[in-house]
């Protein structure tokens, strides 16, 4: 059987990334140029700055990924690229490069949904993993519980009704003066605190709903900080971080385990930036063990935005014959399952 080489391109937010993946699961290169240092002083990603940096970096990153993989452009079988959701200006940079390469090389162009890419990161990490399973996709922009019925078949079972989990981490981190990005900073700080020191709310909607809500939790943290400051009392940043993180993780893991029970599957997975959180991983392992579930999650580098996951997702689209034409456009608000 002929080997299939896919070039993946990812520019949905503030990482410029290109990767060559062989047969869907073997990563030959995964070049990621992060812009975190550029955006830190603003407390979050500035879309215009992100877009300009993508323009500067996209071709050097692509060339580096091909060089590291030891692959010539002519050997590629297809070009996979994120076309949504994400920042429209950032997406357009990756799309423009991908379309130009696909046209010049006469290779198929494959548009990839960013969330499907995050889910596919698990296939790279776990070569034996196959659908069906239930996956929690948690990041700065998304909090979804997804039933992965097949490589190209997805059902959203639950999602946030307001703030995404990663967004809540960023906002709380800023509120306690720890800066951006909030996820890894809070994870590290929480290890020094008491997760039972402050009782922050856990939102469960009841009934069959597996939706999330983190806006009230974020407000509860802010109210606690304001109350302590007005009273002139000191508070422990470590305890705030630990208690906040525990509240987020409790809801995420409870709903994910419930989703697996509803679908009658024995496998659960994590994906997205928040999937790198150490408490989330340990809590899910513990709750899944009690429920007889097998747990999968990618290594931290594959939890961040990266092109290897895009190339992996593109591979399965390629096998199904799903390709895009040169009129493919960026869709910043693309829904999961839309084509």
Which residues contribute to the annotated binding site for Fe cation?
A: 114, 118, 305
Tell me whether strands 294-296 and 267-271 are parallel, antiparallel or unpaired.
parallel
Give the span between the Cα atoms of 36 and 88, in whole angstroms: 19
User: Which residue positions form the known binding site for substrate?
Assistant: 137-141, 170, 183, 187, 277
What's the rounded Cα separation, in Å, for the pair 40 and 23?
Answer: 37
Q: With beta carbons less than 8 A apart as the criterion, state whether 214 and 160 touch.
A: yes
Question: Which neighbouring-strand residues pair with 78?
Answer: 6
The answer to whether 258 touches 210, Cβ cutoff 8 Å, is yes
In contact, 191 and 139? CB cutoff 8 Å = no
Beta strands in the chain (DSSP E): 5-10, 15-22, 26-34, 78-84, 109-113, 133-138, 143-150, 153-159, 267-271, 294-296
**Binding-site residues, please?**
114, 118, 137-141, 170, 183, 187, 277, 305
């Amino acid at each position: 059987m002929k080997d299939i080489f896919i070039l993946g391109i990812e520019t949905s937010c503030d990482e410029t990334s290109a990767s060559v993946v062989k047969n869907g699961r073997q990563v030959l290169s995964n070049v990621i140029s992060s812009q975190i240092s550029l955006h830190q002083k603003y407390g979050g990603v500035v879309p215009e700055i992100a877009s300009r940096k993508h323009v500067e970096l996209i071709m050097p990153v692509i060339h580096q990924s091909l060089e590291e993989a030891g692959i010539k452009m002519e050997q590629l079988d297809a070009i996979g690229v994120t076309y949504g959701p994400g920042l429209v200006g950032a997406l357009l940079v990756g799309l423009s490069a991908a379309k130009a390469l696909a046209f010049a090389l006469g290779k198929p162009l494959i548009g990839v949904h960013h969330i499907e890419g995050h889910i596919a990161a698990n296939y790279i990490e776990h070569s034996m993993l196959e659908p069906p399973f239930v996956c929690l996709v948690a990041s700065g922009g998304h909090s979804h519980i997804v039933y992965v019925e097949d490589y190209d078949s997805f059902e959203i079972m639950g999602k946030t009704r307001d703030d995404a989990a990663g967004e809540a981490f960023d906002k709380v981190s800023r509120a306690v003066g720890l800066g951006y990005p909030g996820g890894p900073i809070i994870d590290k700080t929480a290890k020094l605190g008491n997760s039972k020191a402050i009782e922050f709310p856990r939102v469960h909607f009841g009934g069959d709903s597996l939706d999330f809500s983190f806006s009230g939790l974020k407000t509860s943290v802010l109210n606690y900080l304001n109350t302590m400051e007005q009273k002139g009392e000191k508070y422990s940043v470590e305890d705030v971080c630990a208690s906040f993180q525990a509240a987020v993780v409790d809801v995420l893991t409870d709903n994910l385990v419930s989703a697996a029970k509803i679908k009658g599957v024995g496998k659960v997975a994590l994906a997205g930036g928040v999937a790198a959180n150490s408490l989330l991983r340990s809590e899910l392992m513990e709750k899944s063990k009690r429920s007889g579930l097998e747990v999968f999650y990618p290594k931290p580098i594959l939890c961040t935005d990266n092109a290897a996951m895009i190339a992996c997702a593109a591979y399965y689209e390629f096998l199904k014959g799903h390709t895009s034409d040169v009129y493919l456009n960026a869709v910043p608000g693309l829904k999961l399952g839309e084509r």
